[in-house]
Amino acid sequence: MITWEELENAVSRCRACGLCRERHNTVFGVGNRKSKIMFVGEGPGYYEDMQGEPFVGAAGQLLDRMLGAVGLSRDEVYIANVVKCRPPKNRDPLPEEQEACLNFLRWQFVLLRPQIIVCLGRIAAKALITPDFSITKDRGKWYYKKGVQFTATFHPSALLRDESKKPFAWEDMKAIREKLDELEK
């Protein structure tokens, strides 16, 4: 069985796709490695690439506020991304880039053993829930796969661009909290 440290070292040395050529840092994941809940975004942005930590820019600050609104903190959850290196100009990660990183994410699942996985945005939901996932139609729904509850909500950066989506994300976050409370009983 691989350890967290071995997995993080493997990510830092990865050259499986072209994203490694322009990265400053790999962005492995952060948070409580014993958490029952994991949040997965699509990939690092500029600030994440600079600091080597997911969700540290404006979207990360919003995610922290969203977590806080339902009584959670960054220290209580685990946060990662589908891809571990920043796509140029924050474009969507290409399918082959996602595929190159998915085994790392799968190992994070194995080590963490979350009971709930929350996909932040359509890229993560398409990679982890189903390829035909529509964030506008399917967000907030629950999917049960291999003993884990999956759901998706809008990516915090989408909420920064379009505030009209915030009430939907709020409903999703309350449902996520309820599901977590159910599992903790």
Q: What is the CATH number of the domain that holds 152?
A: 3.40.470.10
Is the pTM above the cut of 0.95?
yes
Write the secondary structure of 66-128 as one string of H (helix), E (strand) and C (coil).
HHHHCCCCCCCCEEEECCCCCCHHHCCCCHHHHHHHHHHHHHHHHHHCCCEEEEECHHHHHHH
Judged on CB neighbours under 10 Å (0-12, 13-18, 19+), 51 is middle
CA atoms within 13 A on the CB side of 122: 11
Domain that holds residue 129: 4-184
Per-residue pLDDT tens listing for the chain (185 residues): 899 999 999 999 999 999 999 999 999 999 999 999 999 999 999 999 999 999 999 999 999 999 999 999 999 999 999 999 999 998 999 999 999 999 999 999 999 999 999 999 999 999 999 999 999 999 999 999 999 999 999 999 999 999 999 999 999 999 999 999 999 88
How many domains, the chain?
1
- pLDDT score for 184: 85
